[in-house]
Amino acid sequence: MKALILSGGKGTRLRPLTYTGAKQLVPVANKPILWYGIEAIAATGITEVGIIISPETGEEVKAKTGDGSRFGVQITYILQETPAGLAHAVKIAQPFLGDAPFILYLGDNLIKDELGTFLTEFKEKQLDALILLRSVKNPSSFGVAEVEDGGRIRRLVEKPKDPPSNLALVGVYFFSADIHRAIAQIQPSARGELEITDAIQTLIDLQYQVNAQQLTGWWLDTGKKDDLLEANRIILDEYLESNIQGTLDHDSQVIGRVSIGKNTQLINCTVRGPAAIGDNCYLENCFIGPYSSIANDVKLIDTDIDHSVLLSGAKVMNIHQRIVDSLIGQRVSLTSAPRRPRALRFLVGDDSMIEIH
């Protein structure tokens, strides 16, 4: 059994942040989104993992993620020159996949359920495909499955105006090698891509055994700013453990579950958890509110932050208005002139410099 993780694409829904970086490397609770998927796959016992990368961000993904040894897996990077669809990604990965069954996992997804349970069902029932689904309130925005009582999928519909169900495809699939034969039979869709839904529908039409399983826990698609902030909130809420490695002066305090990394210094600060602060940070005269994640090498002075994510190297100084619901990119510099009594919201790309007047 192998795994194929998609970490290409242009990340248009997270621009401007993703003009300069891979969306799958944006951190949730100070860990790249992509790494959660790798860890979930490694927990099943799978050790051979292929990662689809793009020309624009592939080197960054490789540099940050490495050869997989930190996760207990061996990673093979596979370049997809153009974002020509999920089925196209599987097609170019066929030399890596060979005839092995595999998990296909979208790298910007987070799910609570353990993959091992689904992998066991896939193997024991000798399925040709097992598709993970989640009930949603707005099925017209997703690929939707129509499922028979026994769990067999009858058909898939992409973003239907009149959905046959509220069961959306979450972006985690288990396939036998027969998916390659199905992909060989499909044509590009109207948007010029080889769609994995078309390949799965081909399996269904040819009477292959294609079943579905519903997730029981949460599913988080981190493609947009608000979705990423919600993912950060849930991960901090459910998994963060208190771990204070930095130094706090006698005027600073932490309340609740808070993680503070090595060589981080807090002077006259209050941190109310759940909140995570990385390594080598400097905070002075700050309030860090719940559901905030601050990455490594961040400098904050006279700043009040709540429910926000700051990436590595960001600098926020003398912002006397409260910053809420914000995603601030790497090495961004935010400074302020005279005080204004209102909250600020930001989505700021890497290397920006902003002065608030």
CATH number at residue 121: 3.90.550.10
Q: Contact 2/102 with Cβ under 8 angstroms?
A: yes
The predicted pLDDT at position 11 comes to: 46
139 CA to centre of own chain: 20
In this structure, the answer to whether residues 265 and 230 fall within a common structural domain is no
In this structure, the answer to whether residues 85 and 224 fall within a common structural domain is yes
| Domains of the chain: total | 2
Q: Which of 185, 206, 234 is a domain's end point?
A: 234
The predicted pLDDT at position 22 comes to: 75
Which residues constitute the domain of residue 202? 2-234
pLDDT in tens, the chain (357 residues): 999 999 976 544 444 454 455 778 889 999 999 999 999 999 999 999 999 999 988 999 999 999 999 999 999 999 999 889 999 999 999 999 999 999 999 998 899 999 999 999 999 999 999 999 999 888 888 889 999 988 999 999 888 889 889 999 999 999 999 999 999 999 998 888 999 999 999 999 999 999 999 999 999 877 678 888 999 999 999 999 999 999 999 999 999 999 999 999 999 999 999 999 999 999 999 999 999 999 999 999 999 999 999 999 999 998 888 999 999 988 888 887 555 556 666 666 666 666 565
In this structure, the answer to whether residues 258 and 166 fall within a common structural domain is no
In this structure, the answer to whether residues 38 and 103 fall within a common structural domain is yes
In this structure, the answer to whether residues 327 and 182 fall within a common structural domain is no
In this structure, the answer to whether residues 206 and 279 fall within a common structural domain is no
Q: Which of 180, 205, 234 is a domain's end point?
A: 234
Q: What is the pTM of this model?
A: 0.88
**With the C-alpha atoms ordered 194, 198, 204, 209, is the resulting torsion angle positive or negative?**
positive
In this structure, the answer to whether residues 179 and 298 fall within a common structural domain is no
CATH number at residue 342: 2.160.10.10
